[in-house]
């Protein structure tokens, strides 16, 4: 399988806790978030809903973009999500992931 660098945002719920990350295997990483395989921030805060992502041709620009977004304030991140996904739909469902239980969506 080809590796495709991507920057992504997962959320705990609509306008909930947000986490920005970077990976070369977005479906695999979302699986890890959803199953709780990754210890740390996303597991503690229940960030499992893929609400935004951006694909890059190479990993280096993806890492630069992730660092840029991580420095943004919360309102800017919310605006980024809502410009592309105003309902905060779980985009991972497009890849066959089961729907998450809606919490304040």
State the CATH class of domain 6-95.
alpha beta
pLDDT bracket for residue 104 (50, 70, 90): low
pLDDT (tens digit, 9 = 90+) per residue, 74-99? Answer: 999 999 999 999 999 999 999 999 99
The closest alpha carbon to 83, from 95, 72, 93, 75, belongs to 75
pLDDT (tens digit, 9 = 90+) per residue, 40-75? Answer: 999 999 999 999 999 999 999 999 999 999 999 999
**pLDDT value at 102 more than 90:** no
Q: What are phi and psi of 22, to 5 degrees?
A: -135, 145
In the prediction, which pLDDT does 103 show? 60
Q: Which residues of 20-44 are buried (b: 16+ CB within 10 A; e: fewer)?
A: bbbbeebbebbeebbeeebeeebee
Q: Taking the complete model, does pTM exceed 0.85, yes or no? A: yes
Radius of gyration of the chain (CA): 13
Residue extents of the structural domains in the chain: 6-95
């Amino acid at each position: 399988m080809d590796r495709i660098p991507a920057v992504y945002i997962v959320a705990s719920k609509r306008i909930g806790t947000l986490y920005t990350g970077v990976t070369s295997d977005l479906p695999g990483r979302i699986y890890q978030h959803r199953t709780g395989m990754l210890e740390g921030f996303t597991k503690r805060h229940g960030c499992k809903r893929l609400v935004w992502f951006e694909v890059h041709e190479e990993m280096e620009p993806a890492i630069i973009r992730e660092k840029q977004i991580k420095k943004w304030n919360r309102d800017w991140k919310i605006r980024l999500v809502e410009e592309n996904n105003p309902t905060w739909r779980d985009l991972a469902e497009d890849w066959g992931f089961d729907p998450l239980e809606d919490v304040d969506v």
